[in-house]
């Protein structure tokens, strides 16, 4: 049983003097829980890319089934992430965050026990629903728990820890697969269970509940339009690379864009919209989200295709290719904390501009190497990925901080959803 003093310390009203819903002494638990929850998604995605050949052989899956093991998750995550972010504002970030984590780890266990590829695809789709609530909740609850002048440092620590898990995931995954064989892929999903349970415990036992934005309606019409629009866009983009799916990609993307326009007009006419479109009138918010889109679009494409090129085209082993993420993620892990503090002092504009330029140079170097037919991993690709990591380390924390400090606390969930969409 908690003492009266401790109970007061974690009550919603006990932190008003600190300017946030969370007392200073409890903020570290928010940060730890957010880091653990983020690790679920990052480890899952980065290791699964390395494990796909093993998974296909072990389950006897077709190429199309293997592609949809990734695509099903991406589809539901992309379709629902705006609604998931807005749910945090409407129902309370802690409540929504815990719900997302619980759904994610429950379906992770189901994925680990899946008897065939079809069942795995189905549970991956449901796992994406949990991620759509969990992913925006991770950043949003940090932003709401920390005052604006401290958010850069907190987000920097979160980004550094997330990058570290991303770095270690493929390396350890590649080594484990090489050592224990293809059947060990199920452990990729099973590891989510203890991490998620620890995160849920910290949130429920150590962190006070935040006040939801009760005056905001559910806006089911807006949520439905956003889900359909982003679902069609995600389906169109993911089916481009799926076997037999190319014919529907164009119409799906066109329909998604049309529904996105309808969604914007619908939200503008609502008194209590799911997404406050006036947020895009804030220069820092709009600019940071635009920069996020271009940077992460390029980075995601590179990290998706590069391992396949190195394994199928260059003949490298999964253990070797696991190291491709190491310089990128290690740079972010080592530098994001200091860069976050630096950004708190000087503002995010210069780090974002400088980091984007460094990333552009790294991409140019990779393109020149590929065009010249230079297949030297350790003296060519590896150092360029380290350079890319340096640039991303300058960008990751300031970009997230710029987005989350540009909005009021009542909009942190929606802002995080937009930033992750």
Q: What is the pLDDT of residue 318?
A: 67
Residue 256 lies in a domain: no
Distance CA 53, CA 370 (A): 24
Q: Which domain holds residue 109?
A: 4-219+270-420
Q: Residue 113 — pLDDT band, cuts 50, 70, 90?
A: very high
Based on DSSP, count helices (H) and strands (E) in the chain, helices before strands: 16, 0
Digit-coded pLDDT (tens) for 342-394: 888 888 889 999 999 999 999 999 888 877 777 777 777 888 888 998 998 89
pTM of the model: 0.77
- The answer to the question of residue 127 being in a domain is yes
Across the chain, mean pLDDT equals 81
State the pLDDT at residue 241.
60
**% of residues, the chain, pLDDT over 70:** 87
- Does residue 77 lie within any of the structural domains? yes
How far apart CA 211 and CA 209 sit, in angstroms, is: 7
Question: Comparing 402 with 17, which gets the higher pLDDT?
Answer: 402
The verdict on residue 52 lying in a domain is yes
Q: For residue 228, is pLDDT > 80?
A: yes
For residue 374, being part of any structural domain is answered with yes
Domain total of the chain: 1
In this structure, is residue 211 part of a structural domain? yes
Decide: 58 and 183 in contact? Cβ < 8 Å. Answer: yes
pLDDT band with cut points at 50, 70 and 90 for residue 3: very low
- 301 vs 199, residue with greater confidence: 199
Segment 168-196, tens digit of pLDDT:
666 667 677 777 766 778 888 888 899 99
Burial of 373 (0-12, 13-18, 19+ CB in 10 A): exposed
What is the tens place of the pLDDT at every residue in 246-299? 677 788 889 989 998 998 888 888 877 777 788 888 888 888 888 888 888 888
What's 201's domain CATH number?
Answer: 1.20.1250.20
More confident residue, 380 or 128: 128
Quickly tell me which residue has 């008194």 as its tokens.
Answer: 271
């Amino acid at each position: 049983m908690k003492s009266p003093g401790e109970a007061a310390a974690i009550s919603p009203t006990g932190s008003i003097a600190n300017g946030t819903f969370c007392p200073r002494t409890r903020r570290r638990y928010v940060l730890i829980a957010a880091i653990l929850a983020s690790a679920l998604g990052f480890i899952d995605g980065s290791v699964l890319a390395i494990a796909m050949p093993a998974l296909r052989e072990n389950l006897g899956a077709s190429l199309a089934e293997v592609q949809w093991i990734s695509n099903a998750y991406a589809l539901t995550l992309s379709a629902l992430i705006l609604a998931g972010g807005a749910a945090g504002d409407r129902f309370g970030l802690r409540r929504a965050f815990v719900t997302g984590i619980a759904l994610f780890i429950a379906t992770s266990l189901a994925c680990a026990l899946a008897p065939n590829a079809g069942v795995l695809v189905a549970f991956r789709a449901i796992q994406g629903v949990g991620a759509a609530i969990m992913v925006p909740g991770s950043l949003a609850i940090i932003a709401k728990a920390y005052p604006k002048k401290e958010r850069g440092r907190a987000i920097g620590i979160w980004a550094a820890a997330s990058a570290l898990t991303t770095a270690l995931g493929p390396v350890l995954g590649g080594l484990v697969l090489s050592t224990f064989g293809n059947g060990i892929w199920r452990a990729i999903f099973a590891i989510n269970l203890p991490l998620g349970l620890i995160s849920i415990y910290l949130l429920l036992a150590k962190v006070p509940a935040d006040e939801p934005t009760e005056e905001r309606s559910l806006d089911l019409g807006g949520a439905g339009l956003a889900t359909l629009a982003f679902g069609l866009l995600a389906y169109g983009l993911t089916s481009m690379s799926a076997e037999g799916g190319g014919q529907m990609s164009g119409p799906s993307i066109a329909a998604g864009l049309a529904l996105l326009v309808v969604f914007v007009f619908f939200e503008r006419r609502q008194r209590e919209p799911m997404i406050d479109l006036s947020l895009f009138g804030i220069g820092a918010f709009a600019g940071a989200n635009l920069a996020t889109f271009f940077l992460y679009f390029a980075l995601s494409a590179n990290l998706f295709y590069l391992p396949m090129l190195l394994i199928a085209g260059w003949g490298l082993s999964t253990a070797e290719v696991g190291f491709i993420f190491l310089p990128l993620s290690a740079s972010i892990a080592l530098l994001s904390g200091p860069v976050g503090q630096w950004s708190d002092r000087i503002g995010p504009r210069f780090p974002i501009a400088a980091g984007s330029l460094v990333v552009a140079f790294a991409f140019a170097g990779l393109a020149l190497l590929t065009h010249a037919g230079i297949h030297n991993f350790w003296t060519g690709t590896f150092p360029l990925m380290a350079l890319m990591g340096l640039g991303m380390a300058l960008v990751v924390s300031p970009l997230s901080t710029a987005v989350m400090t540009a909005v009021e606390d009542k909009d942190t969930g929606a802002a995080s959803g937009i930033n992750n969409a």
